[in-house]
Amino acid sequence: MLHPRTSLVHPTSSPFSRNAAAALAEVGLLHEVVTTAAYNPSNFLPWYLQPLPSKAKQRITAELARRTWIPPQGIPLRTHPWQETLRMLLVKTNLSQSLGFGAQGPVAWVYQSLDRHVAQHHLQNLAAVYAYEDGAATTFQAAKQQNILCFYDLPIPFYKTSRQVQLEEAQKFPELAPALQAANEPSWKIERKHREIELADHIFVASSMTQRSLLDIAIPLERISVIPYGAPVEYFQPQPKLDSSFRALFVGRVGPRKGVHYLLQAWQALNLLDAELLLVGVNEFPSGWLTQYQGSFRHIPSVPHTALNQYYSSANVLVFPSLVEGFGLVLLEAMACGIPVITTPNTAGPDILTDGVEGFIIPIRDVEALQEKLEWCYRHPRELAEMGKAARRKAEQLTWQLYRQHLANQVRSLLPNS
């Protein structure tokens, strides 16, 4: 009997989209993967880079590596790269800001272009299509007309929850409002999000936080599957710490949605000896805002993902005080490196760790709680090290293989004649 054919659509390469594709392929359900731009290191492209100067070649290779997507064996990977290539040119040449597209360029245009293309050219003879937020409205509408099941993957909380949290934050800190994106979503984009939710036959989420955001808008529980992402235990490993300084680490977009301003307040108030706060990630605060904390932290704007292991291993604790998050993959990366975490209930923290065992879960916006837990970590190095060992053990239980198994089983149960 032929397996029902399912196509997966995602505009970029990400750990969760690659593993979702692998999950469907492992049980014979995947027909093809459709994306914008994807890089396969084993194809001919690296050969064409050889004549370039070494610096240019390194920059291009690093950018391409972020887009690596090697499809499962025997599965076609369909790329439609032109809009994404233009977006990247605008960003890298700094034209994006001057043309009014913002620091990230016309992302919505890229998503919608791929969505329209899939609706027109990639729905033939399918049983189901598996697509992601902001890139599924037109595809789902066309799929419904052909009796194709619509599986929707929502990696972050539904916009109403995100918007409410960020509007509250913008009211508390008006100067940070420009950096709180969900508080400024245009009406047409919000309408698309609603349309995607309405058209979806089943919705896959990675955390109870995202599930709650859907229950809050009266989505029936039976239409939602919660499947936490996996820990990259194969390539993130514990390594010896090379110095004796206490180091608290944040990894991610350095901005108000991630609660970094609360972390900075807590750290500055502690004023610990022989201790460092290290922020790794792109600065999303308004220009010049971080200067008020100058000297109390170290900031590294961006590092290759493959280099993150050494940063995790240089830390005593990862602090991820996000206000609203679908799933903080950095939590599992740190845990895979044997690093305990401090996070909030509004991440996937409650889904993957036990408070006081692999780390701590504290309320959002709670500077005093941040201070208390950071100082405890500083004063209790032996207990903290045991927490790190527990974090690694927990990460070894929460693998991407487990994610793929659960996702494949759920999709298979929803497909007719599978």
Query: What CATH number is given for 6-230+400-414 in this structure?
Result: 3.40.50.2000
Predicted local confidence at residue 58, as pLDDT: 65
Q: How many CB atoms lie within 10 A of CB 42?
A: 7
Q: How far, in Å, CA of 404 to CA of 343, rounded?
A: 25
Query: What CATH number is given for 246-397 in this structure?
Result: 3.40.50.2000
Q: How many CB atoms lie within 10 A of CB 88?
A: 18
Predicted local confidence at residue 104, as pLDDT: 79
Residue 144, amino acid: K
- In the chain, ranges of CATH 3.40.50.2000 domains: 6-230+400-414, 246-397
pLDDT band of residue 63 (cuts 50, 70, 90) is low
Q: How far, in Å, CA of 265 to CA of 245, rounded?
A: 20
Predicted local confidence at residue 148, as pLDDT: 96
Q: How far, in Å, CA of 215 to CA of 346, rounded?
A: 15
**Alpha-carbon dihedral angle through residues 109, 115, 117, 118, given to the nearest 10 degrees:** 160
Q: Could you please report the per-residue DSSP string of 374-410?
A: HHHHHH-HHHHHHHHHHHHHHHHHSBHHHHHHHHHHH
Q: Tally the C-alpha atoms within 13 A of residue 101's C-alpha that lie toward its C-beta.
A: 19
Residue 115, amino acid: D
Res. 308: pLDDT tops 80: yes
Q: How far, in Å, CA of 220 to CA of 186, rounded?
A: 27
96-150: pLDDT as tens digits: 878 887 777 888 999 999 999 999 999 999 999 999 999 999 999 999 999 999 9
Cα angle 389-390-393, degrees, rounded to a multiple of 5: 90
pLDDT band of residue 312 (cuts 50, 70, 90) is very high
Structure-block tokens of residue 114: 């791929």
Q: How far, in Å, CA of 292 to CA of 290, rounded?
A: 5
195-241: pLDDT as tens digits: 999 999 999 999 999 999 999 999 999 999 999 999 999 989 999 99
pLDDT band of residue 181 (cuts 50, 70, 90) is confident
Mean pLDDT (whole number) for 397-416:
95
Which residue matches tokens 């916009």?
159
Predicted local confidence at residue 377, as pLDDT: 97
Which of 38 and 393 is assigned the larger pLDDT?
393
Predicted local confidence at residue 1, as pLDDT: 37
What mean pLDDT value characterizes the chain? 91
Q: How many CB atoms lie within 10 A of CB 381?
A: 12
Residue 60, amino acid: I
pTM confidence score = 0.91
Beta strands of 161-292 (E only): which ranges? Answer: 202-205, 224-226, 246-251, 275-280
Mean pLDDT (whole number) for 77-94:
89
Mean pLDDT (whole number) for 294-310:
90
Residue 166, amino acid: Q
Predicted local confidence at residue 50, as pLDDT: 64
4-41: pLDDT as tens digits: 799 999 999 899 999 999 999 999 999 999 999 888 77
Cα angle 78-84-86, degrees, rounded to a multiple of 5: 135
331-356: pLDDT as tens digits: 999 999 999 999 999 999 999 999 99
Which of 102 and 70 is assigned the larger pLDDT?
70
pLDDT band of residue 151 (cuts 50, 70, 90) is very high
